[in-house]
Amino acid sequence: MTMAPAVPSVQSVPRFVGEGRIVRWDRPVPRPGPGELLLAVRANALCGTDRAQLTQGSDVTPGHEAAGEVVAAGSGTSASHGTLGVVYLMDFCGSCRGCAEGATNRCSAKRADMGFTHDGALGRYELVHETNFFPVGTDVAADEATLLLDVMGTTAHALRRAQAVRPRIESLAIAGAGPVGLGMVAMARLTLGPDVPIVIADVVPYRLELAERLGARAVRLPAELPQVDVAIDTAGRSMSRRMLLDALATGGVLVCVGHGEGLDLEVSTDLIAPERAVIGSEYFRYDQLAANLELLRENRSYLGQIITHRFGIEDLEAAYRVFLGGESGKVVVTQ
């Protein structure tokens, strides 16, 4: 094991104790074993799924959209000290059927979900396997690098899922203008081109205005959507899924990205007769990061609009108030 001399043995980290309360406690700084890296966390983007940990409490340190710098390395690793990269949420096994097919997001024997089952990136240091660490180079800032995860990765994967059913997409509707919905607008615009109509529906004026700057037509709910080839639900609401399904053209596809509620449908009239499809899309594949990194480098000003607020880790509570209040795009905490 190699370790930078400045790495302490104890770190003070936020502890989510429930009912929206965050305290701090001292935790040991882990030492990397074989195949592992210790990262000094530089940035972590907040996510709507953090809400459950805030309200219910968490036994581990949250934070699952991380960028960090290698400060210690276990045996069998190749990343050098100082390498900046992002952390892929799922600590995939690399050997199950899903991993063998490249579908690391469908790993059936994953070792961890970082920030959910194992300590994540709201601590000062995070321990990861090198296999779920992706170096980004020296030309990408840590806060900017977090865009590669939920904002770009999850959304680009959902579009690929849609194209597997409907290769030629001539119109798109999105429900939910949170960070994933905003990322969906941006990735659809970059992937499908400037002429494909994109409509996005939400109730928050701030986020709808941001979606319009990214190139979508914003619709404030409740509203009737135009007929589209592809509909993508990022909200996870039964109402939004039903609304999108009703807007689908013949042969269209609904992609469900947001976890949450269900969907009531009539198989014969909703699916069979119009030959529509309803599919799920879970996170993204690790091997998609390289292409998205190049896309980020080519479009950093455009994609960077999605990050609207930055806070230091000492202002974590304020960061969550802004983010969960809805008057923001992506909120990034730096340290």
pLDDT tens-digit profile of 30-71?
999 999 999 999 999 999 999 999 999 999 999 999 999 999
Q: For 296, what's the count of Cα atoms within 13 Å in the CB-facing half-sphere?
A: 26
End-to-end CA distance of the chain: give it in Å, rounded: 25
Q: What is the mean pLDDT of residues 197-211?
A: 97
- Check whether 1 has a pLDDT greater than 80: no
- Distance, CA of 3 to CA of 176 (rounded, Å): 43
- Check whether 109 has a pLDDT greater than 80: yes
Tell me the pLDDT of the chain averaged across its residues. Answer: 97
Q: What is the mean pLDDT of residues 110-130?
A: 98
Of the CATH numbers 3.40.50.720, 3.40.50.1970, 3.40.50.1260, 2.60.15.10, which one belongs to the domain with range 152-280? 3.40.50.720
Q: For 127, what's the count of Cα atoms within 13 Å in the CB-facing half-sphere?
A: 20
List the structure tokens of 247.
């807007």
- Check whether 5 has a pLDDT greater than 90: no
Return the H-helix or E-strand segment holding 318: helix 316-325
The topology under which CATH files domain 2-148+305-334 is: Quinone Oxidoreductase; Chain A, domain 1 (3.90.180)
Sign, Cα dihedral of 82, 86, 92, 94: negative
Spatial strand order in the sheet of 198-202: 217-220, 198-202, 172-175, 228-233, 248-256, 277-280
DSSP for 90-117 reads EE--SSSHHHHTT-GGG-SS-SEEBTTT
Domain ranges, ordered by start, for the chain: 2-148+305-334, 152-280
DSSP for 258-308 reads S-S------IIIIIITTT-EEEE--S--GGGHHHHHHHHHHTHHHHHTTEE
- Would you call 9 helix, strand, or coil by DSSP? coil
pLDDT bin (cut points 50, 70, 90) of residue 140 is very high
pLDDT tens-digit profile of 62-103?
999 999 999 999 999 999 999 999 999 999 999 999 999 999
pLDDT tens-digit profile of 242-300?
999 999 999 999 999 999 999 999 999 999 999 999 999 999 999 999 999 999 999 99
CB 180 within 8 A of CB 151: yes
pLDDT number for residue 223: 87
- Check whether 2 has a pLDDT greater than 80: no
pLDDT bin (cut points 50, 70, 90) of residue 4 is low
